[in-house]
Homo-oligomer: A and B are copies of this chain.
């Protein structure tokens, strides 16, 4: 009963939680890989461009909506630009950069959407009972409320 160590069960629960997350997320990522787009980055960005901005958004808006750092986004956009998924255009009205989806980007996100939806359903949503969903929502609220310290 050492207060300074985790006992077997505590360790186990922590471990199981991490594994479960990684399994689910890993499976979704794996199914997404056939689309050539990554789940968090590529797909997240392209989807936002289309759904929120009808094809284009300011870089700053993307940063806020994704809760990424500007650095991370900048790096990622550079890579996506090289792959021909988006292009960047300096705003004429002063500071700022407009991110615009290319036709290749549009095709990619269109093709990926059903695959994404299926993967998330199959590996996550379909595995949850109604009660599970409620618990997850409540847990999320509790965690959100906690100071990150």
A20 at the interface (CB under 8 A from B): yes
- The smallest beta-carbon distance between A125 and chain B, in angstroms, is 6
The majority secondary structure among interface residues of chain A is: helix
Given contacts A5-B114, A13-B137, A140-B19, A146 and B123 within 8 Å (CB-CB): yes
A133 at the interface (CB under 8 A from B): yes
A27 at the interface (CB under 8 A from B): yes
Copies of this chain, whole number: 2
Contact with B along A20-46 (1 / 0, CB 8 A): 110111110011000000000000000
Residue numbers in B under 8 Å from A144 (CB-CB)? 23
A139 at the interface (CB under 8 A from B): yes
CB nearest to A7 among chain B residues: B117
Give the contacting residue for A137; candidates B16, B121, B146; CB below 8 A. B16
Distance A27 CA – B131 CA, assembled complex (angstroms)? 26
